[in-house]
């Protein structure tokens, strides 16, 4: 048995049935890391010793019947912008090259309470700003399907680690597509939950009103089970929502028993395809794959039709105004005093601040801080920041209108498959525009999932995105699961290579 090819839930079962030990599962992932890391660079930190020790402890608690969750004993990788107690957390930045948190993010705590074993921390765009993982201070991650291509970003390390079998599942964070886009580029499943569903406590903030943690997994079943494990109201995050209170008076769709939605059925579901998403910038092969997925939904009994979403052209400028504004404020705390890096030589307090921030932050982060400070400055606040907030409200309204007619919206996840390494950063505006299909989901606080739906001629995966109304993750999971069953399980990269 190739342990590393199992999904998280399959592995959890085998561990429970004593077919595989927790240590064997961990060693299987560590072996993949040994063999592939030099090529892919998915991780910033791998803590073998701590993971091995934890595997032993978890095994004992499984054997004693204390740990019964589906993820007990399953090795996981965590994006490096989530605090992990005692384990280096760099956020992909030189600024935090020596930051070892004294506490863990709530999502990480929940995974650990369920018995998952953290292998290490994955590579990412610096402070989650980027779409390729090339802005990391720790070198770019490569796409396991084709090494010359990016894995997407900003959670590119997590996506590549899952695709390469260097972990069984991973956590990512999504401010404007950073779970869904790399998942799509690497041929895995990724979900951004409704804002407020997963606690942001211990997630190093980028755009606080947009950030959500979510699952990155081999299949939809894993995605549902991971979400069920990490979701939940948390008093430590004031934007966290008590969904249990909500689900008492509804049809059952808004509940948090996400794995209950793993049923094959989309009969009668109304799925809308935004006509305005299928315009010039969309690659022909991606378009064909996504429309092919729409056809599969129809064959499974859904009612699929096109509609006009509107405001699509305004989503990118509104997002980059709001995200940069929030980032410029959130990143003020990195001043060489409280955390991480401090410059070696300085004359006074101000020169210490200036030199620390000049040396600690990379180019893309500085660009966002400058843009954010500009749109928040007096005289420009109304013209840019406030206007962007108004556009955000209009985008939310456009989705509200769509969900009066449709259960779900089907769209591409990204306009192209993974670009070549080195081809994106030279033109930031072009890179920002490529987020067009993912960012409005964050602006409107909605849940979105991406599922692999095809391959390009060049051998790169393509993902189809499903978007739901607030709290409708179960509808997304049910539809995505139905699609995955109908389309057949997506291969892992090495299987694909072996088949050739
Ligand atoms: N690419 C987008 C950005 O750079 C989204 C990043 C994210 O979701 N963290 O802001």
- Give the model confidence (pLDDT) of 368-388 as tens digits: 999 999 999 999 999 999 999
Question: pLDDT at residue 337 above 80?
Answer: yes
Among this protein's residues, is 121 annotated catalytic? no
Within 8 A by CB and 6+ apart from 190, the residues are 155, 159, 172, 174, 179, 180, 182, 183, 184, 214, 215, 216, 217, 223, 449, 450, 463
Atom index in ligand 1 nearest the CA of residue 130 equals 4
The length of the chain, given as a count of residues: 500
Q: What is the distance in A from the centroid of ligand 1 to the CA of 323?
A: 8
Burial of residue 266 (number of CB atoms within 10 Å: 0-12, 13-18, 19+): buried
Question: pLDDT at residue 498 above 50?
Answer: no
Confidence of residue 250 (pLDDT cuts 50, 70, 90): low
CB 181 within 8 A of CB 438: yes
Question: pLDDT at residue 500 above 70?
Answer: no
Percent of the chain with pLDDT over 70: 98
Among this protein's residues, is 154 annotated catalytic? yes
Structural domain containing residue 218: 3-268+406-495
Question: What's the CA gap between 41 and 144, in Å, rounded?
Answer: 10
Q: Please choose, from the candidates 147, 126, 101, 119, the residue with its C-alpha nearest in 3D space to the C-alpha of residue 30.
A: 119
Question: pLDDT at residue 156 above 90?
Answer: yes
Question: pLDDT at residue 497 above 80?
Answer: no
Using CB distances shorter than 6 Å, the residues near ligand 1 are: 128-131, 154, 174-178, 206, 323, 435
- Kindly list the distances between the CA atom of residue 8 and the CA atoms of 109, 140, 222, 357, in Å, as whole numbers in the listed order: 18, 26, 6, 40
Confidence of residue 229 (pLDDT cuts 50, 70, 90): very high
In this predicted structure, what is the pLDDT of residue 248?
61
In this predicted structure, what is the pLDDT of residue 243?
87
- Kindly list the distances between the CA atom of residue 79 and the CA atoms of 171, 341, 388, 493, in Å, as whole numbers in the listed order: 6, 20, 29, 21
Tokens for 130? 């980027």
Confidence of residue 490 (pLDDT cuts 50, 70, 90): confident
Q: Please choose, from the candidates 52, 75, 72, 77, the residue with its C-alpha nearest in 3D space to the C-alpha of residue 61.
A: 72
Tokens for 263? 């049923």
- Kindly list the distances between the CA atom of residue 494 and the CA atoms of 5, 201, 288, 311, 491, in Å, as whole numbers in the listed order: 10, 36, 25, 41, 8
In this predicted structure, what is the pLDDT of residue 495?
57
In a domain, 367, yes or no: no
Question: pLDDT at residue 305 above 90?
Answer: yes
Catalytic residue among 104, 154, 259, 289: 154
Confidence of residue 245 (pLDDT cuts 50, 70, 90): confident
Supply the DSSP symbol for 464: E
Average pLDDT, the chain: 96
Q: Please choose, from the candidates 460, 176, 447, the residue with its C-alpha nearest in 3D space to the C-alpha of residue 321.
A: 176
In a domain, 253, yes or no: yes
In a domain, 226, yes or no: yes
Catalytic residue among 7, 36, 69, 79: 79
325, 424, 435, 442, best to mutate for ligand 1 pocket (most atoms within 8 Å of CB): 435
Give the number of domains in the chain: 1
In a domain, 362, yes or no: no
* Low-confidence winner among 179-188, 237-246, 328-337 (lowest mean pLDDT): 237-246
Query: Tens of pLDDT along 45-84?
Result: 999 999 999 999 999 999 999 999 999 999 999 999 999 9
In this predicted structure, what is the pLDDT of residue 249?
59
In a domain, 227, yes or no: yes
Mean pLDDT of 412-435: 94
Burial of residue 241 (number of CB atoms within 10 Å: 0-12, 13-18, 19+): buried
CB 328 within 8 A of CB 376: yes
In a domain, 384, yes or no: no
Q: What is the distance in A from the centroid of ligand 1 to the CA of 443?
A: 12
CB 179 within 8 A of CB 449: no
Within 8 A by CB and 6+ apart from 401, the residues are none
Q: What is the distance in A from the centroid of ligand 1 to the CA of 437?
A: 12
Query: Domain with 83 in it: what CATH number?
Result: 3.90.1300.10
Mean pLDDT of 189-197: 98
171, 178, 367, 418, best to mutate for ligand 1 pocket (most atoms within 8 Å of CB): 178
pTM: 0.97
Q: Please choose, from the candidates 146, 174, 173, the residue with its C-alpha nearest in 3D space to the C-alpha of residue 89.
A: 173
Q: What is the distance in A from the centroid of ligand 1 to the CA of 439?
A: 8
In this predicted structure, what is the pLDDT of residue 139?
98
323, 328, 437, 442, best to mutate for ligand 1 pocket (most atoms within 8 Å of CB): 323
In this predicted structure, what is the pLDDT of residue 493?
84
Among this protein's residues, is 79 annotated catalytic? yes
Tokens for 119? 């292998």
Q: What is the distance in A from the centroid of ligand 1 to the CA of 288?
A: 26
In this predicted structure, what is the pLDDT of residue 254?
86
Supply the DSSP symbol for 144: T
In a domain, 302, yes or no: no
In a domain, 68, yes or no: yes
């Amino acid at each position: 048995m190739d342990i590393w090819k199992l999904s998280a839930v399959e592995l959890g079962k085998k561990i429970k049935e004593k077919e595989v030990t927790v240590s064997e599962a961990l060693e299987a992932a560590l072996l993949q890391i040994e063999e592939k890391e030099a090529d892919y660079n998915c991780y910033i930190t791998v803590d073998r010793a701590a993971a091995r020790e934890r595997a032993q402890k978890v095994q004992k608690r499984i054997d004693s019947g204390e740990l019964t969750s589906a993820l007990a004993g399953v090795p996981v990788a965590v994006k490096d912008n989530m605090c992990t107690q005692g384990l280096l957390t760099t956020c992909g930045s030189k600024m935090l090259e020596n930051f070892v948190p004294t506490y863990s993010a709530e999502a990480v705590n929940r995974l650990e309470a369920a018995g998952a074993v953290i292998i290490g921390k994955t590579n990412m765009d610096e402070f989650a700003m980027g779409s390729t993982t090339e802005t990391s201070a720790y070198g770019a991650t490569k796409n396991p399907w084709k090494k010359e291509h990016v894995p997407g970003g900003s959670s590119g390390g997590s996506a590549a680690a899952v695709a390469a079998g260097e972990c069984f599942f991973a956590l990512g964070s999504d401010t404007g597509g950073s779970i869904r886009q790399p998942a799509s580029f690497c041929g895995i499943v990724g979900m951004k939950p409704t804002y407020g569903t997963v606690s942001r406590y211990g997630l190093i903030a980028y755009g606080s009103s947009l950030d959500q943690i979510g699952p990155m997994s081999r299949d939809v079943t894993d995605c549902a089970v991971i979400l069920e494990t990490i979701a939940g109201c948390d008093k430590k995050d004031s934007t966290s929502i008590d969904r249990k209170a909500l689900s008492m008076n509804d049809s059952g769709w808004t509940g948090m028993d996400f794995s209950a939605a793993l049923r094959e059925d989309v009969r009668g579901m109304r799925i809308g395809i935004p006509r305005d998403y299928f315009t010039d910038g969309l690659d022909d092969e991606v378009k064909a794959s996504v429309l092919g997925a729409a056809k599969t939904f129809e064959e499974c009994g859904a009612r699929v039709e096109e509609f006009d979403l509107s405001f699509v052209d305004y989503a990118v400028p509104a997002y980059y105004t709001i995200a940069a504004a929030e980032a410029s404020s959130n990143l003020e705390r990195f001043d060489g005093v409280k955390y991480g890096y401090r410059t070696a030589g300085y004359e006074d307090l101000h020169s210490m601040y200036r030199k620390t921030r000049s040396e600690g932050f990379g180019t893309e982060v500085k660009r966002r801080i400058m843009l954010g400070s500009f749109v928040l400055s007096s005289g420009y606040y109304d013209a840019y920041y406030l206007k962007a907030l108004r556009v955000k409200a209009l985008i939310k309204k456009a989705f509200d209108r769509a969900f009066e007619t449709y259960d779900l919206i089907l769209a591409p996840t990204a306009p192209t498959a993974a670009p070549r390494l080195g081809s994106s950063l030279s033109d930031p505006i072009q890179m920002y525009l490529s987020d067009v299909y993912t960012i409005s989901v964050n602006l409107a606080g909605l849940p979105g999932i991406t599922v692999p739906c095809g391959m390009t001629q060049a051998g790169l995966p393509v993902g189809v995105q499903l978007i739901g109304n607030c709290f409708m993750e179960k509808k997304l999971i049910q539809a995505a699961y139905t699609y995955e069953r109908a389309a057949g399980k997506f291969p892992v990269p090495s299987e694909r290579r072996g088949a050739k």
